[in-house]
Amino acid sequence: MTSKLLASLAAIATLSIGAAIAAPVNYTLPEETAAFKPGPNLDVVQSNCSGCHSADYIKTQPQGEKFKKDFWQAEVTKMIKVYGAPIDQADVGKIVEYLSATY
């Protein structure tokens, strides 16, 4: 049992040293080629969505009048439930309204 404990402690120490000397990862994001369109609730969308999504990404989503509001409602719900987006429930309707009217 002592040898297993020593082996475990040695492995933890090795991993800890490796993590301590690992170099940070630096990267440069590409420049934005699109901007969020002006409209009611733009500030809510920017504060909730732009931390993870560029305006380019949102612009590439399916467009068209049929089921537009339902599509964006489903997308915002997915961001919250599947991806854990920290969107306040009071902002959901505002985001859906903005995206439905703008894209």
What is the pTM (predicted TM-score) of this model? 0.67
- Compute CA 55 distance to the chain's CA centroid, rounded to the nearest angstrom: 13
> If pLDDT is split at 50, 70 and 90, which confidence band does 60 have?
confident
- Of 35, 34, 41, 50, nearest in space to 99 by CA: 41
Round the average pLDDT of the chain to a whole number and report it. 85
Does 10 or 26 have the greater pLDDT score? 26
Domains of the chain: 42-102 (1.10.760.10)
Does 10 or 88 have the greater pLDDT score? 88
The whole-number average pLDDT for the span 59-68 is 78
Furthest-apart CA atoms within the chain: distance in Å: 69
